[in-house]
Structures are given as structure tokens and as C-alpha cells.
Structure 1
């Protein structure tokens, strides 16, 4: 339902637009006044409020008694939002004073000792103004015009309605009641592919394409009902109709943190002197609250003290008394009894397994023909979206903060000149087919950007790592103690193993060396990376069957390779010509140091490649300086180019 209102606060006109769904207990409020706009989404089922500022920043708060349309129990209703009483009395018709010449019907109710926003009023008089209408279905034959409320103990409230509608387009309805802006990080989102089938009806998949909106709502309702999760956590549902199955790509959002939803305050306490209902030891406030969410009742107050990891609940909130000699503790309360419900919200890390436990139970019926009986649809499998998930995740990990390769030998560490964007530095490592790049560093200083690529892998770095008070990293071999130093604006990154491989498609190699289960894509890639005979691997993401990683010594592009088609699994092949782990120091010298012969062409092409990604094409001057110190080669490259974008901007 959509409602538009206009109210006066301290002489300023404030416009509010409400989108609400009483069934799913969710409301979105857009509040506008001169020079200010704020979006608020209320999830009454969980007792959480998301506030999104005009700058796109999202904050999470406990829901409070001022939430629109909320009653004393913490539930939402359209009647409460519209100030509708169960005992409205019709008074007649009048000419509405706020809109000259407008004829309206008037209803009024009087309530004694009415509780509103946590306060009790001796008398509350609510007046509703409606006009005759045959185009609005919120009220039979009437359309909302205005409402006023006189609170005896407080000033009068007045609200004008400028629009109301209960039949929104499906796309507008779901967009209005989503909270995606608060969960933008890759780790806060999960994509799963649901496989649906229908029985006892010829052509049911083809026919269901004509009722995609109805199917989406029925599927969503069944999903939420069986899994017991909030509607705000389902960000998107997208159907793909295949010949024998319907694929539903569903994006889930992370569950809200209980520590951000329940109201709390910090007190100095002596836990040993407080009477306890339930007690445990946990490492965080969130774990403490989840522990107590499993109890019914869970107690009047929940206390967590970081000093000693103390976690307990009390029967009476008054037992939690402050003491000057106590330690700082967080005290949580649950005024609207939402803790048990919050505890049932599975985090994304557990959600896939939770859903797999309900296979066969996620069903719905839909009429595809007026004369035929309803057709039953059922979820038969739920598969992790390995491709999309990998695309959304960062393709690298940070190995060391505030560090960089400082001394460059041209053998193990090479400076890439002219690169002033992080994304280009990443691509210089990940998409280089001539240098077996494993790690890279990028410095994002205001006056200077630096990109260094390295053939050192994580095991090689770890085996030779030493530290100097956390300010300097030291490495053995070619990289000495002076090679990595503390730099505030520099970090060292390592490519994820899966980034060395490209997906070839859903045609799989049949000649498999061996199979491992329960691995993710990056672990499967690392397994292939460590096996010298591995040329490619097949990866099947987790569904009702465990994930499978199949290592093979064949390439799908070889005509002699035997293959089989798959609808779920994918084949991956190595991007680079050779693996860094397989190369000896001498081999590394011959392939990297000096970049003589074909290597010069390769590194020159790399620079051109970087230039294209940076958005310019110019003349490059390649200079090679050779030094024989300690029988090692050291290359310095210089090149000139046209001016690029703002040098202080880092993009990926």
C-alpha cells in the first residue's frame, strides 16, 4: 500500500510517503522537507529500523515507540498508521476548510486513557475526512483526504493525505520495501539458485511464464514461511524458464546484528554480585545475545562484560545496579520481545545449509488455467552461485597492511611505471601471461602512486617472514630485510588462486585424475595449482549434493579430450603459461630477469595493456639499465605518457 501525507511541524511543511505491507510487517517512509530528505525502513517483525541518509549512508537502530503505525505490542497495522479506531462514528458532510470548496464525509472517535508513543493521554479525539470515490479501493467508495488527532496533554496533530493506493506495480512494491542500500558489501549478500519442478500438468513450465509475477509472490511467500526469515532479507528473485525446470536466482541479504537492534546502555557493574538467570562465557556481544535468544524466557536484561567475557541474563532489570568499582558492561533489554525472533534469523554463513534442510517442503500451488486444477510447484535443489559469487567478491586478499616491496631487483619484484590506479595494478598482475605474478603491492599516496608485481607466492613469503615490532617485514632469499618496509598508504596483496583460472563453460572434462568434495572454488583452484599435472579442473557448486572438485590433466580445448555437458558445473583452465610454484630460481631468472628477447615484447605489451585500461594511448619510451652487482640483474623502466585522470583518485 502507498500513502502520501503532508504535515506541519513547528511551522515547516513535511512531506511523508509511506509504502507498507501489513502481512510482512514492513514499512518504508520517505520524509522530505526543504533541504532535507531521509529514507527509513521499518522491519517490525525483527524490531529493526534502517535509516538511509541523503548521502546514501545507512544506519541500524532499535525500533522505538514513535515508529509509524506501531501498536503497544510492537506490531504494525494499517489502521494504526492511518489513525483508524474500531469505534468511528459518522458525523455527516462538511465543506473542508483546508481545501476550499471540497465536500468531505467526517468520522470521529473518542478514546479514553489512550497509550501513544509510550505515553498515556486522558482523551484522544481522532477525526477522519474522506471524499466519495469509485476509483480507490482502500475504502469502499471513499478516498482519504485528511485526518486530525487531538491529544489532551499535547498539541493537536493534523495530517493531509495527497495520495493513497493499494494496487502498486509489482516492481515498485518490492523496490520500495527493500533495504539493499544497507548491505552493499559482497560478504553481506548470498546468491543461490533454486530449481523448481511442476507435476501432473502438461506444459506447466511453459504456461507458468504467463504468470511470472504471481509465481514470484507465491514462491517468496513459501520461502519465507518455511525458512522463517524476514522479507527484507530477500533482495531479488529472478526466474529463468528452461525446458524441464525453472531456475530461480535469489539474492539474500545478511541478517541484522542483534547488538544493533536491541536497545542498550553502558553501565559499570560488578557481575559477581548480580543474581543471574542464565550465564555463559562468550567472546563478543553478538554471540552473547545469540546464546540467550535460544531461551524462553530469556530474561529481563542481558549483560555482556568484555572484561572476562562475562555473559548473563537476569530475571529483573532492577537487579542490574551500577557500582563505582565495577567494570564497563553493556546492558540490553527487549521491550518488544523480538530477541527469540532475531535468534531464528540464520546468518548467511549458515543459510544455505538451513535451506537444504527444507528441500521438499518449499512448495506452492498456482492456477495456470481457469478450468484446470491448481498445479503444484516444488523446490528440488538449491545450488550455490559460484560464478556470480566470485564475481562479486574481491579477487585478491590483503597479505600485509602498511607494507610494500621497497628494494626491487627486477627478478622477483618489478616496478610497473605509470600505473596510478589500484585496478590497473591488480590487472598488471592478474592478466599478465608472461610473468607468473603471485603478489603485488600498491601505494596510494597523494603525491605518488606505485605499483609493484612479484613472483613471490604466499608460502614463499611466509617461510621467510620475520617481523620488527610490526613496523617492518623481512624476507629471506632475494628479498632481504630492507625489501619491505612500513608505509602508511601501501599494502601487499595476493591473487586468489581462482583468479589464475578462467571458466571455459559447462562442458566438463571426463578424464578425471581424482575428485575432492566439500571445497569452494578458490580451494579447488589452489588444489590444481599445487598439482603439476593439472591442466584444468571441473567444479560443481554445493547443492543437495556436496560440492565437487575434479582435477584433470586434459584441456577442454584439445580435440582428443573426452567431455560431457553439465547444467550446474563448470570447467576452469589456467590463465598464465606456467605456475610460479613450479619454477626454480634459475628458471625464474631466465624468464623474468632482464626481459630479454621475447620477454621485452611481453613486458612492453603489458605496459600497453595497462595504458589502455587507464584510458589513454600514447608514446612509451622503454629504457633498460643493466647492473651486474652480486651477479643479479636489476631492471629500471622509464616511460612517458599523456596526462591521465586525477592522480589522487584510486579506482578499481
Structure 2
């Protein structure tokens, strides 16, 4: 667009290197911005607060890149992340290494029966104070407040550290129980060529979980991991891991289940008009695991501990039932999931 000289006089300018740099820098400004103008001839960048101040001059105007923000949403650009930045940004910003969680209680001398519980997040590590020790409030609270109230502060510290992001939640109702869920301690799965295989060079529990969850070779349901790096993945169901013939005793190891019920989308208060399998007594978690292990199961129906397998879900093939729910894999879920092949 060729912008008039009058427009440049009303523009509030800054210096930038290129067009996107112009937009990115201005997105940090809190003032309302309607129009951004970037002039390549001298790398001049500026903005207008009123759209009416933008004038075009096709004869003597200068060519510019013009950005209009009628929805007043320029600041959102500063909050956007490219896909390759998401993982590292979470690692750096959500739980920064060497943070500490401080929990304490205030007691006022003038009101001995009143307690205030306060939680602090700090960007530094202080020396651990034993739970039964009472200290004067440190610099977390102003000196005048301490002297005025005589507050005392039993201080506890719990350090935490984010190691990695092991998976994403596809179902917004999924809880933390979806991730590594231990079912047996002091044991590991026994090697079997048809059921359980061991994987070399697996350094963390998270990696072992990911390999099981994303396996293409077989339907992995359970896995074991040892502190010395032994990872074993298996098509064995959770119930099978309690059979001593399938496990070995080892105090450095634990056995886990994928808890695959969270991979399914729940359709509440629906049931299939025609049942395609015999219903059996199972919990919803066990029903999901059995469906996951079967190549012919595309969905499952669960009605008050009665589990049965289903096919493709459609509204016409189902009907209302207050006691039932149908669970199905999200559309294209298998194709869109990142997979790891077992070597």
C-alpha cells in the first residue's frame, strides 16, 4: 500500500530491522494500536491509534506494509509460540529448576486463636527448616509487619524440579492417573518372546512409558522399569501381572499399566441398539484395557460394571440409556499419535 505523507506525520515511530520485527516489538506495547505501518526504504516502523488517520496516496505515497487490528488483539502476537518452541518453553517457565515451595502459618500475638496459612513460590532455594522448628518471619514479610504483629512462621520447604514433559492430555477430562501408574512394586515382567520384550538403552521411566504407549509392533498394556535402566514392555493385561509365572522379584523394579481408558472419548448415556459381544463383569479401566488389546474392538460399552465390545459409533446405531456410556477412540487418533517402534 502507498501511504501518504500526512499519515507518516501522525504515526508514532520506532526503529526495527524488518516487518515482522516491527509487529513483534509493537505487540509488547500496552497502548491501543489500530494500525501498524512498516516502511522498507528506511526500516521505519510506527503505529496509529485511529484507523481514520491511515491515508493512501497512489501517486506520491511511499510503499509500505500495513497491518490492521480491528479486534484489538495485537498483544496476542507476543504470547504466541512456534511449535518447535513449546517443549522448551514449558521446561523453562512452568516449573523452573531450583524453585522451592514454602508453606507456613502466621499466628498473631494479639489473636492467639487465629491462624493464616500462606503458600509461597520462590525462585531460590533456602536451607531446609525442620517441621518442628519455629522461626521468626524472614524477608518474605516486611520488618514493620513482623514488629507490629509479632507473627511467627513455622516454615517448611519442598524443592521440586521439572525433568521432562512425558505426554500430552488429549481428553480434557483426563486426570493425572493416565500417566505412569504403578500396579506392583519390587517386581519386573518376565521375558517372553510372544508377550514381553526387553528394550536396551532406555534411560528413564518416562521413555519406557512412551515406548509402550506408542508401540506399533503390538498392543502394549503393561511395562516394568528398574532403577538400573531395565525396561520391559508387554501385551500382558494388568490382571496377568499378578500371576507369579509372569513376573520376577526385583527390589529395584516396579510394574506399571498404561491406564488406557483415558485414550478413549466418553459418550455418556448412550448404548448400542445391537450388542456385538457378550457382556462380562469388568471395571471401566479393565474394559478399556481389554478393548485396547483386541484388534477387532473399535469401541466399548460400559453399563454398571457390564462390559461389551462395539464397532463404529454412529447416532443411528445407538440409543439413550441412563446407566450406560460408550467409549471410542477419537477420530484419526491412531494416525495422529506419534509412535515409536520397538527395536
- TM-score normalised by structure 2 residue count: 0.41
Larger RCO (CA under 8 A, 6+ residues apart): 2
**Which structure: larger Rg?**
1
- TM-score normalised by structure 1 residue count: 0.24
